[in-house]
């Protein structure tokens, strides 16, 4: 009966530790969610002050697509890009197979042999103990955006590649569209949309943009050439709802407690060699990122299409 009592006490202690571990992870995910929501709220306020393209975080979102039927007209594919902070003395390792990552996480602590040659003589200094844990992130499950059409802005596309600086091209566009004989008016602002080759022009007065948009295409004189530019309405949007749900990365493991005893490249090689060996219950490594002690990093997660 004493042995049974001891076994029950051990089981109770184990369950208590697992419960505390789950509570800690839940708190971590909750804090990350609160931080992300604060960033989104701040961005929403920024968008209300400026009639610009829809932004989430500090990244502009430009939606492109081809509507093939009516059923697809109200659908938007959202591919999240999640940034995950990496403290010093840690590494993220992504395996080719999810079952390998699960095995590494279940072992919790790993003794890694250091490939340091004769640099470290004492046997206990040629090993390091690192802890393995799962990576839990918050993913958006849906996205709701409230769109508004700007009354003073136009979107220009089909711009020529003239081999001149962007500011010079913007100057030429502003010069053309500021003239009333071209159907324009005084320009308040102009800007390139990131990675789209498109320009947003905003006029000072109302009533200038609509007639230009109605024309659809306008021959624009730029330098010595005339180019047919497409004129479209400019839509701006606010994120009205972004529900989040916790998700665990199936193939990625967080390693912590890594001492700063090797150079970055040597440490990366050492970790990859150790965790790809089947004798240590590892497997083929797809990617590995290491941040030495005293520094910090930011890892980006995208959708796993493998």
Query: How would you write 64-90 as a 3-class SS string?
Result: CCCCCCHHHCCCCCCCCCEEEEECCCE
Q: What separation in angstroms does the CA of 19 have from each of 12, 30, 180? A: 10, 16, 71
Residue 61, pLDDT above cutoff 60: no
User: Do the Cβ atoms of 164 and 193 come closer than 8 Å?
Assistant: no
Q: Domain map of the chain by residue range? A: 1-49, 82-141+243-301, 145-241
Q: What is the pLDDT of residue 272?
A: 92
Cα separation of 289 and 112, whole Å?
17
Q: What is the pLDDT of residue 45?
A: 44
One of 2.40.110.20, 3.30.70.330, 3.40.50.720, 3.50.50.60 is the CATH number of 145-241, namely: 3.30.70.330
Q: What is the pLDDT of residue 237?
A: 79
User: Do the Cβ atoms of 244 and 140 come closer than 8 Å?
Assistant: yes
Least confident among 22-26, 31-35, 226-230, 253-257: 31-35
Mean pLDDT to the nearest integer, 277-283? 89
Query: What are the tens digits of pLDDT across the range 209-246?
Result: 999 999 999 998 887 888 999 999 988 878 888 888 88
Q: What is the pLDDT of residue 147?
A: 84
CA neighbor of 235 nearest in space, from 43, 42, 73, 63: 63
Partnered with residue 112 across adjacent β-strands are: 128
Least confident among 24-33, 55-64, 106-115: 55-64
User: Do the Cβ atoms of 172 and 184 come closer than 8 Å?
Assistant: no
Burial of 48 (0-12, 13-18, 19+ CB in 10 A): exposed
Query: What are the tens digits of pLDDT across the range 62-115?
Result: 554 454 555 555 566 667 778 888 899 999 999 999 999 999 999 999 999 886
Query: What are the tens digits of pLDDT across the range 75-85?
Result: 666 677 788 88
């Amino acid at each position: 009966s004493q042995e049974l009592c001891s076994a029950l006490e051990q089981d109770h202690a184990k369950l208590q530790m697992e419960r505390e571990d789950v509570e800690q992870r839940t708190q971590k995910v909750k804090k990350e969610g609160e931080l992300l929501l604060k960033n989104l709220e701040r961005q929403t306020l920024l968008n209300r002050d400026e009639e610009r393209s829809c932004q989430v975080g500090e990244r502009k979102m430009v939606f492109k697509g081809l509507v093939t039927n009516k059923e697809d007209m109200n659908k938007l594919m959202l591919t999240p890009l999640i940034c995950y902070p990496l403290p010093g003395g840690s590494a993220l390792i992504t395996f080719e197979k999810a079952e390998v990552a699960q095995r590494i996480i279940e072992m919790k602590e790993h003794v890694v042999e250091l490939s340091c040659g004769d640099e470290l003589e004492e046997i206990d200094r040629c090993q390091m103990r690192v802890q393995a844990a799962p990576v839990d992130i918050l993913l958006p499950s849906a996205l709701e955006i409230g769109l508004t059409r700007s009354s003073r802005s136009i979107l220009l596309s089909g711009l020529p590649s003239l081999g001149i600086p962007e500011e010079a091209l913007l100057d030429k566009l502003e010069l053309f569209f500021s003239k009333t004989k071209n159907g324009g008016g005084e320009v308040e602002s102009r800007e390139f949309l990131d990675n789209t080759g498109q320009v947003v022009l905003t006029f000072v007065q109302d009533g200038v943009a609509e007639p230009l948009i109605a024309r659809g295409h306008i021959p624009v004189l730029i330098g010595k050439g005339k180019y047919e530019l497409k004129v479209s309405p400019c839509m701006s949007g606010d994120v009205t709802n972004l529900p989040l749900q916790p998700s665990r990365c199936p193939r990625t493991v967080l390693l912590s407690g890594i001492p700063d005893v090797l150079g970055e490249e040597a440490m990366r090689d050492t970790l990859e060699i150790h965790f790809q060996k089947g004798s240590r219950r590892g497997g083929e490594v797809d990617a590995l990122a290491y941040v030495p002690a005293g520094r910090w990093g930011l890892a980006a997660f995208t959708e796993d299409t493998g």
